[in-house]
Amino acid sequence: MGNTPLDHYLDLAGQRFGRLVVVKMVDAKTKHGRPNSQSTWLCKCDCGGSRVAVATILVHGKAPSCGCMKREASVRLWERRRANILSHDLKGSSNTKHWPPEYRAWINIKQRCYNLQHAAYKNYGGRGIEVCVHWRKDYKQFLADVGPKSSPELSIDRKDNELGYSCPRCLPPNGNCKWSTREEQTKNRRPVPTENLGKHMAVVWANRDGAYRRKFSEKMKAVASTLSPEARERRRQGGIKGGRIGGPIGSRKRWDKVAEQKSRP
């Protein structure tokens, strides 16, 4: 009588399946008094790892390793994608989550300067800000000039906001770009137009010392002295609370009234 399909699962100990060598049975699933295809076996991998696999998966070649082959394939895929990016070949790397942060920054500065549909175009390309010719089509040159990011909190910044994204060859000796923190970027913003002072005031109060606050207060007083009578009246009607422009000055009186009521016995 010929072998039945169940005969393949009677004893797999010592057999090799890909990188796995079967050591012993872990859990015997019996049918008619003998192990069937759902029995589980402990296997040793050539890489030194181990795994437990069902017999039918081993026999049909669906478990060739302990998982090391899949990890190696992932590493090869990432290396191929990174090589494509460095060579400016995005084929196979269209998913932005696989882009290095430096490459994403390079893409973003070009979008802000040349994409008319970009939300920030009016503040960059609309003002005449451009990317220098050495960086415009050469990511490797951009990376060589600015270097890799030393921290994920850093982003690309222009030293002079009135100039474009320039390399050291276009603007000696160090170019116009560097990696900066969010706070450094905030300090390097363009001045707020005086006519919009009552509506827009971007101030980061985290990690501010008294000297900075005094300097900021003196600057605001100097700006206020240049306001027109109409702008000064609008500023007077706005209350400053918690480092930002608040509502009408009457709101502060209401808060004082609430505080007084809470303090009563």
Per-residue pLDDT tens for 60-102? Answer: 888 899 999 988 988 887 777 666 655 555 444 556 666 788 8
Pick the more confident residue, 240 or 17.
17
**Residue 75 burial (C-beta neighbours within 10 Å; 0-12, 13-18, 19+):** exposed
How confident is residue 9, by pLDDT bands cut at 50, 70 and 90? low
* Averaged pLDDT, 228-255: 54
Q: What pTM value is reported for the model?
A: 0.44
What pLDDT is recorded for position 118? Answer: 92
125-182 residue pLDDT tens: 999 999 999 999 888 899 889 988 888 889 999 999 889 999 999 998 889 999 999 8
Q: Which of 29-43, 148-162, 231-245 has the highest mean pLDDT?
A: 148-162
Distance of CA 113 to the CA centre of its chain: 21
What pLDDT is recorded for position 82? Answer: 63
**Residue 109, amino acid:** I
DSSP label at 198? T
Distance of CA 244 to the CA centre of its chain: 28
Is residue 173 within 8 Å of 207, Cβ to Cβ?
Answer: no
Coil, helix or strand at residue 224: helix
Determine if the peptide bond prior to 173 is cis (ω within 30°). Answer: yes
Checking if the pLDDT of 40 tops 80, the result is yes
How confident is residue 124, by pLDDT bands cut at 50, 70 and 90? very high
